[in-house]
Amino acid sequence: MTKTVIATDNAPAAIGPYVQATRVGNMIYTSGQIPLDPVTMDIVEGGIEAQTKQVMDNLMAVLAEAGADASSVLKTTCFLSDMNNFLAFNEVYASYFLAGAPARSCVEVARLPKDVLVEVEAVAYVE
C-alpha cells in the first residue's frame, strides 16, 4: 500500500497534526475542512452560507490537488454546530454537486474547531 499526502496552498494549511488529504490507490480521504481563508487563515465572516461556501471551496481545492472534483466524491460527512442551519447549509452544499450528490451523513455536534458553524470531510474515487 502506497500512501500519498495531498497538500495545496489553495486550501488552509493544517492547524494540527494532520494533512489536508491522503491518497491510497484510487481513493482520496480528506480531512475535515473548516471555513478558514487559505491566505489569511482567518475564519470567513458571515453566517452559515458564507462559512459553508468557504468550506466547500476549500474541499474542492484539496480534491483538485488530488486530481478529483465534486463528481469524484463518494461520501461526505458534514458537521453542523446547530441543526437549525441545516436548510441554509443544504442550499450551498447542493450547489457544488450539480451532477448528483454523494452519500452523506450530517450531524449536529457540540463544538467545532475555532467555534466555526460547519465542517465537511469527503471520500472520493479517482481513476
Active site residues: 106
Q: Spell out a b/e string for 24-56, using b for 16 or more CB atoms within 10 Å of the CB, else e.
A: eeeebbbbbbbbbeeeeeebbeeebeebbbbbb
Query: Which residue has 469524484 as its cell numbers?
Result: 72
- CB count in 10 Å sphere of residue 88: 17
Q: How far is CA 71 from CA 91, 100, 125, in A?
A: 18, 7, 9
Residue type at position 7: A
Q: List the beta strands (DSSP E) in the chain.
A: 3-6, 21-24, 27-30, 73-80, 103-108, 118-125
